[in-house]
């Protein structure tokens, strides 16, 4: 089965080490919530704002999840220290999408996927399925991996913070974009498919891509 989806809005943010300006103070006005946000949560809230998305169906993906908070928990256990309640709370895969829903009061369906290097494509597949019954879906894939000691593990020389998002709707028109997945230098492999799609949108008047389920 194949479904054509149209990209109506898109956003991307990335940095070799750490994204400096995510506009948290303006986007999350409640200080108590803002202080608890994970890095992925900050990135997702920023990208959603760039796409004009506040409420509705969301599909969120991350191959590695909340690595920074998970590493902090493991370091605390290793050092026989107390585990931070915030780090424990933020260590689950749906942290980012959950914080966004809290900030905006979003009560619509939210799905979180983690599928290794296939994460971003599977996010698009799930969104296409959701569009069989929804008018619009927000999709986002993020990796935030800038923790102490990452240099000893990061063998692929990827940027350590990277996020891509789209707002999608179903289309009956023919596809204008064909994605050939390939290795993307500097991009986490889990985001590669969506990054290629994002780049292909730069030189098109309409952004319609065929998703095979």
Residue by residue, pLDDT tens for the chain (213 residues) are 899 999 999 999 999 999 999 999 999 999 999 999 999 999 999 999 999 999 999 999 999 999 888 887 888 888 888 888 788 788 899 999 999 999 999 999 999 999 999 999 999 999 999 999 999 999 999 999 888 777 766 665 579 999 999 999 999 999 999 998 777 888 999 999 999 999 999 877 789 999 998
The reported pLDDT for the residue numbered 157 is 59
The reported pLDDT for the residue numbered 77 is 85
Range of the domain at 61: 2-212
Burial code (b: 16+ CB inside 10 Å, e: under 16) for 10-23 equals bbbbbeeeebeebe
Question: Is 22 in contact with 42 (CB distance < 8 Å)?
Answer: yes
The reported pLDDT for the residue numbered 156 is 59
Read off the CATH number of the domain in which 140 is found. 3.40.47.10
Handedness of CA 62, 68, 73, 75 (dihedral sign): positive
3-state SS assignment for residue 185: coil
The reported pLDDT for the residue numbered 74 is 84
Record the pTM: 0.93
Phi, psi of 179 (to 5 degrees): -100, 125
The reported pLDDT for the residue numbered 206 is 82
User: Bridge partners of 164?
Assistant: 12, 141
When computed from its CA atoms, the radius of gyration of the chain, rounded to whole angstroms, is 17
Number of domains within the chain: 1
Six-digit token pair at 26?
């303006």
3-state SS assignment for residue 58: strand
Angle between helices 95-104 and 39-50 (to 10 degrees): 50
d(CA 59, CA 73): 27
Separation of CA 135 from chain center: 21
Question: Is 169 in contact with 88 (CB distance < 8 Å)?
Answer: no
The reported pLDDT for the residue numbered 168 is 98
């Amino acid at each position: 089965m194949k479904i054509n989806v149209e990209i109506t809005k898109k956003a991307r943010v990335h940095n070799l080490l750490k994204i400096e300006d995510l506009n948290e103070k303006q986007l999350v006005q409640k200080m108590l919530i803002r202080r608890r946000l994970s890095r992925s949560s900050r990135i997702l809230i920023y990208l959603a704002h760039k796409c004009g998305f506040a409420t509705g169906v969301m599909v969120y993906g991350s191959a590695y999840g909340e690595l920074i908070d998970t590493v902090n928990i493991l370091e605390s256990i290793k050092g026989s220290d107390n585990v931070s309640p915030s780090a424990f709370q933020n260590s689950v895969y749906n942290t980012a999408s959950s914080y966004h829903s809290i900030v905006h009061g979003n009560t619509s369906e939210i799905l979180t996927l983690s599928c290794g290097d296939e994460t971003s494509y599977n996010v698009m597949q799930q969104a296409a399925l959701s569009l069989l019954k929804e008018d619009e879906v927000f999709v986002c894939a993020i990796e935030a991996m800038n923790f102490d000691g990452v240099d000893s593990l990061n063998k692929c020389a990827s940027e350590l913070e990277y996020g891509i998002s789209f707002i999608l709707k179903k289309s009956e028109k023919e596809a204008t974009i064909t994605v050939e997945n390939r290795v993307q230098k500097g991009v986490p492999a889990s985001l590669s498919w969506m990054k290629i799609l994002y780049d292909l949108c730069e030189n098109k008047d309409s952004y319609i891509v065929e998703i095979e389920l």
